[in-house]
Amino acid sequence: MKKMFRTLLIVVAAVAAACAPRERTLVVLSTNDMHAKIQNFPRLAAAVEACRDTAQLVLLVDAGDRWTGNAYVDKTPAPGMPMIALMNRLGYDVGTLGNHEFDHGQAFLGRMIDSMDFEVVCANVVSDTCTFPQLPPYVVIEEGGIRIGFIGVVTNYEGPGHPAGNAASFKGLEFPDPQQMAMKYAAELRPKVDVLVLVSHMGDDRDAELLGKETRFDVVIGGHTHVEIDSLINGTLLTQTGKYLNNVGVTEIKLRGKKVESVGYRLVPLAGYAPDPLYQAEVDRYYADPVLNKPVGEFAGTADKWGVANWMAEAVADEADADIGMYHIGGVRLDSIRKGGVGMAKIYDLEPFGTEIAVMRMTPADMRRMIVSKYNDEENRKEAHRIDLISTTPYVIVTDAADNAVDVRFPKLREGKVYEVAVSDYVYKNYNDLNYTDGKLTGTTVAGVLLEELQEDGPLTPDNKPRQEIRRK
Express each pLDDT in 284-335 by its tens digit: 999 999 999 999 999 999 999 999 999 999 999 999 999 999 999 989 999 9
Q: Is the pLDDT of residue 352 over 50?
A: yes
Nearest to 358 by CA among 270, 284, 420: 420
* pLDDT tens for each residue of 110-136: 999 999 999 999 999 999 887 888 999
Report the pLDDT value the prediction gives residue 151, as an integer from 0 to 100. 98
pLDDT average, residue stretch 429-458: 94
Q: How far is CA 296 from the centre of its chain?
A: 29
How do 219-222 and 236-241 pair as beta strands? Answer: parallel
Backbone angles phi, psi at 175, to 5 degrees: -125, 85
Q: Are the beta carbons of 145 and 193 closer than 8 angstroms?
A: no
Report the pLDDT value the prediction gives residue 12, as an integer from 0 to 100. 43
Look at the alpha carbons of 251, 27, 224, 348 in this order and tell me if their dihedral is positive or negative. positive
Q: Please give the helix or strand (H or E) that residue 265 lies within, else none.
A: strand 259-269
pLDDT average, residue stretch 72-78: 90
Nearest to 58 by CA among 105, 89, 87, 25: 25
Report the pLDDT value the prediction gives residue 13, as an integer from 0 to 100. 46
Query: Is the model more confident about 249 or about 168?
Result: 249
Q: What does the alpha-carbon distance between residue 473 and residue 465 come to, in Å, rounded to a whole number?
A: 23
Average pLDDT, the chain: 93
Q: Is the pLDDT of residue 381 over 90?
A: no
Report the pLDDT value the prediction gives residue 171, as an integer from 0 to 100. 87
Q: Are the beta carbons of 299 and 342 closer than 8 angstroms?
A: yes
Nearest to 366 by CA among 417, 321, 307, 300: 417
- N- to C-terminal Cα separation, the chain: 91
Mapped onto helix, strand or coil, the DSSP state of residue 394 is: coil
Walk me through the domains of the chain, giving residue ranges and CATH numbers.
21-285 (3.60.21.10), 295-472 (3.90.780.10)
pTM of the model: 0.81
Q: How many CB atoms lie within 10 A of CB 436?
A: 18
Q: What is the dihedral of CA 206, 207, 209, 212, to 10 degrees?
A: 170
Nearest to 201 by CA among 279, 295, 121: 121
Non-local CB neighbours of 353 within 8 Å, separated by 6+ positions = 68, 103, 331, 426
Backbone angles phi, psi at 121, to 5 degrees: -125, 140
pLDDT average, residue stretch 259-263: 96
Non-local CB neighbours of 450 within 8 Å, separated by 6+ positions = 311, 312, 315, 347, 350, 351
Q: Is the pLDDT of residue 258 over 80?
A: yes
Q: What does the alpha-carbon distance between residue 65 and residue 48 come to, in Å, rounded to a whole number?
A: 20
